[in-house]
Amino acid sequence: MSNEKKKFSWNNLVAYLMICLGALMASFSVVCILIPNDAIDYGTAGIAIVISKLTSMNLSLCVAMVFIPFLIAGFLVLGKRFGIKAILGAFVYTIGLEIFEKIPFELNTEHYLAVIFGGAILGGGLSIILKSGGCIDGSEIFANILVKKISDKTGNNFSMTPILICFNACVYATVFIVINRNAALMSLLVYVVATSIINHFTDHFEAIKQVTIITKNPDKLVQAIKKQLNKTCTMMDSYGAIAGDNKTLICYINYFELSKMKEILSQNPGNFSTVSTVDEIIK
């Protein structure tokens, strides 16, 4: 096995292990801290918790039922590599819920302090998953698919932020109506804390990412990006003080396409690349 293949296999193994760790952190937070303190997770996990509370159905079963359609859609639309990681994260998360429900754990403190602590653990776990190229929440998969479909149709790049905000606003409105006001407010606090942690470690994963590539061989890269990501690039002449004449490529993608972009770049060595967050694109 070549060194590149060994490195690739090792990186994949580490990514899968980190996704499992993040999923266990998230499930521990939800079962042992958030739910006992009248708060819920957000996104599709929040929907599953609401269903479980209203019907007294097993929580892990509700989560599996809600997650499965989104996971299938993610696998079909967003690709095999992303789909495998999403399925792994969701599976470990669901198993974690089942395990932690049977482990006695009590956090003797004020509700809002427990919720802040639980939200931080949840955000940390989800950050690890996202940094490893995975995803366990169906709302993020839904937003990613919707943005991809719109981008492919219009040729414009869009942020997932408005979709995620609307999705979670509907979840919390439902909690407010069918459970109680305190649960909705506590859950909103979880969302604020968790997303703050996620944004800190992933640099606003829901925003558009600008990838800048400096290369001497742009044609192969442009073709690979077009074929594998269905994205185009802006190409400019550039000059390095040592390297001499180069081409600078600029490409806009979303966070979940970063792992594929890194794979493309690793298959075409000799390039210098940076990634930055773009809040808005004006046309």
Residue 257 clears pLDDT 70, i.e. is over it:
yes
Q: Look at 268 and 233; give whichever has higher pLDDT.
A: 233
Band the pLDDT of 6: cuts 50, 70, 90.
low
DSSP 3-state of 210: strand
- Please report the sign of the dihedral spanned by the C-alpha atoms of residue 1, residue 132, residue 71, residue 260: negative
Residue 3 clears pLDDT 60, i.e. is over it:
no
Band the pLDDT of 203: cuts 50, 70, 90.
confident
Band the pLDDT of 277: cuts 50, 70, 90.
confident
Q: What is the average per-residue pLDDT within 95-116?
A: 85
pLDDT at residue number 283: 65
Band the pLDDT of 25: cuts 50, 70, 90.
very high
Q: Whole-angstrom Cα distance, residue 14 to residue 152?
A: 32
Q: What is the average per-residue pLDDT within 120-145?
A: 88
Band the pLDDT of 127: cuts 50, 70, 90.
very high
pLDDT at residue number 91: 93
Q: Whole-angstrom Cα distance, residue 79 to residue 58?
A: 31
- Report the range of poorest mean pLDDT among 71-80, 151-160, 165-174: 151-160
- Report the range of poorest mean pLDDT among 7-11, 150-154, 170-174: 7-11
- Please report the sign of the dihedral spanned by the C-alpha atoms of residue 64, residue 67, residue 69, residue 73: negative
Per-residue exposure over 220-258, b if at least 16 CB sit within 10 Å of its own CB, e if not: ebbebbeeebebebebeeeeeeeeeebbbbebbbbbbbb
Q: Whole-angstrom Cα distance, residue 82 to residue 135?
A: 8
- What average pLDDT is seen over the chain? 86
For the ranges 6-10, 30-34, 258-262, 265-269, the maximum mean pLDDT occurs at 30-34
Model confidence, pTM: 0.81
Residues constituting the chain:
283
Q: What is the average per-residue pLDDT within 150-163?
A: 77
pLDDT at residue number 24: 95
Domains, the chain, with CATH or none: 3-202 (no CATH), 208-278 (3.30.70.120)
What end-to-end distance do the CA atoms of the chain give, in Å?
47
Q: What is the average per-residue pLDDT within 252-264?
A: 84
Q: Whole-angstrom Cα distance, residue 214 to residue 126?
A: 32
